[in-house]
Amino acid sequence: MHALVYDGKLRQVDDYPRPVLRAGEALIRPTLVGICNTDIEITRGYMNFRGVLGHEFVGVVVACEDAAWIGQRVVGEINAACRDCAVCRRGDESHCPNRTTLGIDRRDGAMAELFSLPIACLHRVPDRMPDAVAVFTEPVAAALEMLQQIHLRPTDQVAVVGDGKLGLLCVQAARLPGCDVTLVGRHPERWEFLESMAIHAVHVDELDAAYTARFDVVVDCTGHPHGFRVARRLVRPRGSLVMKSTFAAESECNLTMLVVDEIRLIGSRCGPFAAALRALDGGLIATAPLIAARFPLHDGLRAFAAAAGRLKVLLEV
């Protein structure tokens, strides 16, 4: 089958082995797959992954031991947990030490004509939701995860650093409790749709003393080591710093001043899929302004080249 594979080099192949149906899993034919910054970082050495890329998808189940799933349009959680270890039994499947991760860690991803995922990871897509909206479920779930981890109060001041794909989703998620939200970025051409949401945006080069140590919660979505330094500058003493960035490079951190200022540092990644589908279905998160381009899967190399430094590029399968 046709697939987009990373094996030390990003390649398109026409003879990749088709997955076989395994117990407890479903074979899915993707219709749309999103290129994520994590996919790009994998091609730079992140996670030392080898195989088919892609973890943001919407597709149709074509084979499954539970016939009720066949023909269903689905999205899927990316962590395939064992659901039997102590970590899983306490409800932390996304941290299962035995897990594989779709297109990221020891499990072929969705940038192919067919892929496999456990039935337990699947979520049905509402009939009225377009594929171009449903494909954002995984990153929207990641954006909503910070609301699971931190009690954002309507009186809180929140800054999201980074106006890439995830940053533009996180800044929308942060406004849901009624917070005063500021986006810090480098691309004013991406900000116009935020005005209707009363989200203030400022260029990172225009940050002055008035922004220093001002925010109760700061979220780093830059995907770059420099982003942490900007985010750290903005958070107030005893504030919270949420880290959403995953990248291959090393990052330096002044741990002493985190202690002195009593900063709460929180790692944040995968999130609640059911909640993400509800938010998308209810129109609470805008996704159309984030779509930069669409390419057929067989033009995947050009799609990856186009995705660098742009908003969401989608692959049509």
Instruction: Sort 238 into a burial class: Cβ within 10 Å, 0-12 / 13-18 / 19+.
Output: exposed
DSSP state letter for 131: H
Dihedral sign for Cα atoms in the order 81, 86, 90, 95: negative
Residue 177, both tokens: 């409790």
Determine the length of the chain.
Answer: 317
Q: What is the pLDDT of residues 40-51, one digit of tens each?
A: 999 999 999 999
Angle formed by the axes of helices 137-149 and 165-174, nearest 10°:
50
Q: Residue 177: what pLDDT?
A: 96
User: In Å, how far are 147, 161, 296, 308 from 183, measured between CA atoms?
Assistant: 17, 6, 32, 21
Q: What is the pLDDT of residues 277-290, one digit of tens each?
A: 999 999 999 999 99
Residue 257, both tokens: 């001043």
- Average pLDDT, integer, range 233-248: 92
DSSP state letter for 210: G
pLDDT category of residue 224 using cuts at 50, 70 and 90: confident
Question: Residue 309: pLDDT above 90?
Answer: no
Q: What is the pLDDT of residues 129-184, one digit of tens each?
A: 999 999 999 999 999 999 999 999 999 999 999 999 999 999 999 999 999 999 99
Other Cβ atoms closer than 10 A to 95: 14
Query: Residues 174, 154: contact at Cβ < 8 Å?
Result: no
- Average pLDDT, integer, range 189-206: 96
Amino acid identity, residue 79? N
Backbone angles phi, psi at 251, to 5 degrees: -130, 140
Rounded to whole angstroms, how far apart are CA atoms 27 and 115?
A: 6
Other Cβ atoms closer than 10 A to 67: 9
Q: In 165-316, which ranges are E strands? A: 180-185, 200-203, 215-220, 235-243, 264-267, 291-296, 312-316
Question: Residue 305: pLDDT above 90?
Answer: yes
Rounded to whole angstroms, how far apart are CA atoms 223 and 228?
A: 9
Q: Residue 3: what pLDDT?
A: 98
Question: Residue 250: pLDDT above 80?
Answer: no
Rounded to whole angstroms, how far apart are CA atoms 173 and 193?
A: 15
Q: Residue 251: what pLDDT?
A: 75
Q: Residue 252: what pLDDT?
A: 79
